[in-house]
Structure 1
Amino acid sequence: MTLPGDAPHPGDELFWLLRRTLHTMRRDVRERVDLSPARHRLLRTAARNPEPQRQTALAAALDIVPRSVTSLVDDLEAAGLVERLPDPTDRRATLVAVTGEGRAVLAEADRQRRRHAEELLARLEPGEQAELLRLLHRLVDDADPC
């Protein structure tokens, strides 16, 4: 905690600035695509796999409890972005597959995210952009995976 008169801690400032940047990017994408961050993460995770996935596999990949995946899949299914399919290897299980509409929404979200990132980076000179990216890579590439 920073007290009045104390200099901000660099780690706190880094966290706040990165969080604020990502928040504005997510908000911008959400306003244009109407997809909450949680639904976006689930949709992206499901789309990365070429085959439909069980909800338990999606929950594990997202590091959330399976019941949370159920409500997210319900919402995405109601929006026509995913569909549930019977699991051919287990009659009791269902698989989640991304629909064509879901892939189109992800593609639009990607376009919006790239556009917003380009707008942010445009505030910097080309050398500053390269330096920012170099420094962020240095922080991330050497870090343990989350």
Structure 2
Amino acid sequence: MHPVDDSTDLGALFHAAFRGLRRTWSEQLAPWELTPHQWRALLTLMGRRPFDATGLEPGGDSMRLKDLAQRLRIAPRSATEVVDQLETKGLVQRDSDPTDRRATLITTTAPGCELFAAITAQRRDKSSEYFARLSAHDRTELARILEQLGE
């Protein structure tokens, strides 16, 4: 391992490490017939779901379609296409917003929650496998540094 000095491009090193981890993500989604865009939408929706001691529950907070598009940084038309695909698979449902009849609310269904839990568990396992090449001390230190950078 090379010593880190001021000339080391930490951004490039971080990006290379992230690419190594991300490489397997599309492959992991294939058995569930999900695209990375569909996964990101489901992940964004599930980020608003309540968790309890037994796991994930459907329902809870819904998200307006326009807010989903904004969070995903895509055009509303593109978000509509992604939600159409997820709805066809039974992973989300659309409802009218009771406060604004023009708006549509998106909610994750029970099958959507189950799929989210399964994919999340597999991704955690693959992530653990990826980082297993580091010592326990290095993993702890990396977690500390990433938390600090994420603040």
Same fold, judged at TM 0.5 (above): yes
Q: Could you tell me how far apart the structure 1 residues matched to 2:35 and 2:89 are?
A: 12
Question: Does structure 2 conserve the Cα–Cα contact (< 8 Å) formed by 1:46 and 1:98?
Answer: yes
Residue 110 of structure 2 is aligned to residue 100 of structure 1? yes
Structure 2 unaligned segments of length 5 or more: list them.
Answer: 1-6, 49-59
1:41 corresponding residue in structure 2: 40
2:71 to 57, 61, 65: 61
Structure 1 unaligned segments of length 5 or more: list them.
Answer: 1-6, 142-146
Q: Could you tell me how far apart the structure 2 residues matched to 1:120 and 1:91 are?
A: 47
1:14 corresponding residue in structure 2: 14
TM (norm. structure 1) is 0.78
Q: How many percent of aligned residue pairs carry the same amino acid? A: 37
Question: Does structure 1 conserve the Cα–Cα contact (< 8 Å) formed by 2:96 and 2:103?
Answer: yes
Kindly provide the CA deviation profile for residues 21-78 of structure 1, in whole angstroms up to 9, marking residues without a partner as x. Answer: 2232x13431343322211111122223332221011112222211110000000000
Which secondary structure does the structure 1 equivalent of 2:42 belong to? helix
2:132 corresponding residue in structure 1: 122
1:144 corresponding residue in structure 2: none
TM (norm. structure 2) is 0.76
Q: Give the counterpart letter for 1:15 in structure 2.
A: H
